[in-house]
Structure 1
């Protein structure tokens, strides 16, 4: 417990030793006393984390209707962890911080998903198809306050995650390949992804109301 790593130790080893120091308070006379019973990794993690409430966006990102790759992107968005050009410039990279979609304004996450005219056109296309009210800002808050049945809330959140994913994909293609699909084409890709998702989960119990709802937004024939 008293061991200290040398200054030239690797980052990984120094990080392991730091965790050891954080756990020191949970031991007494060589025994784990922070919680009842024997030491377990899950119990230790809970103890280190503390009694923090779940994030409001938890169910918006991690729901059964959302594709795993969309969940991961949604998680990054929720944590504001995407490597936008504005963030890379702050980290010291010598690049221009303009948006790769419109080329007009500094590429922050708020601009990319909420303010960029290219992203707004995708939102408008989806709103026309679904008759929903996809927002042009506060995307996670929109997901949290969805109404309707559990299936309807899940589908709406999944489509929002798909939209964020496709916008980020188009941004990356514009950066690396100098290619940008028309917004209506991207909206069509999002709708097809959701139709495919509904087909793969067609055995999920659905009420007549849910089936009618899926038909109205063109996700089920």
Structure 2
């Protein structure tokens, strides 16, 4: 606390010291995460939101951790067999995951930014409905890549991208009402989703 005083005066707040502002001064400041709003969106499937939350909090049990506890014989990624299977590798560096993301981006027509920094997310989607669709794709991506990690039979990247697309289409059909703008409706028709 000593650096917060100058000549016996509490310098942080002109009104003087209080327990509250003393606590605020000493506690570590954490960055606000952009992903919280995406994960907690009412549009998301609960299972997608849960897995995305776990990923963003670095809590996915992956082969690297199991290897440390002698639960498996190696720590290689069983999807691509090219690197140690860390959470960062699985979601951001694995060629399989990159291909799924690339196929999904080709379908939706904008860039999906996934980042191992856990602090920033983004897209070139813009705002409104397109941003909502970006968020749906973002959480579905984490869910289906995680799901492939636990599957005994690995699906082709195109099949995983198709699952993401179908989940997004289904959610839009359920949630979007007829007040959709003409531009959004035209955009959705390209995806095979028409709001009548």
- What TM-score, normalized to structure 1? 0.66
Tell me what 1:133 maps to: 111
1:93 is the counterpart of 2:70: yes
1:196 is the counterpart of 2:170: yes
The Cα shift of 1:212 comes to 2.6
Tell me what 2:193 maps to: 220
Summarize the Cα distance change of 1:62–1:181 in structure 2 as closer, same or farther, 3 Å threshold.
same
The Cα shift of 1:134 comes to 2.7
Matches within 5 A, 1:39-54: 54=32
The Cα shift of 1:98 comes to 1.2
1:167 is the counterpart of 2:145: yes
Summarize the Cα distance change of 1:196–1:155 in structure 2 as closer, same or farther, 3 Å threshold.
same
Unaligned runs of 5+ in 2: 1-18, 21-26
Q: Which has the higher helix share?
A: 1
Matches within 5 A, 1:69-80: 69-80=47-58
* Residue pair 1:85, 1:97 contacting (<8 A) in 2 also: yes
| Inter-partner Cα distance in structure 2 for 1:55 and 1:88 | 28
| Inter-partner Cα distance in structure 2 for 1:219 and 1:100 | 35
Structure 2 SS opposite 1:148: coil
Structure 2 SS opposite 1:105: coil
1:104 is the counterpart of 2:82: yes
* Residue pair 1:60, 1:144 contacting (<8 A) in 2 also: no
- What TM-score, normalized to structure 2? 0.74
Tell me what 1:42 maps to: none
* Residue pair 2:110, 2:125 contacting (<8 A) in 1 also: no
1:184 is the counterpart of 2:161: no
Tell me what 2:13 maps to: none
| Inter-partner Cα distance in structure 2 for 1:124 and 1:51 | 35
* Residue pair 1:84, 1:108 contacting (<8 A) in 2 also: yes
| Inter-partner Cα distance in structure 1 for 2:103 and 2:118 | 20
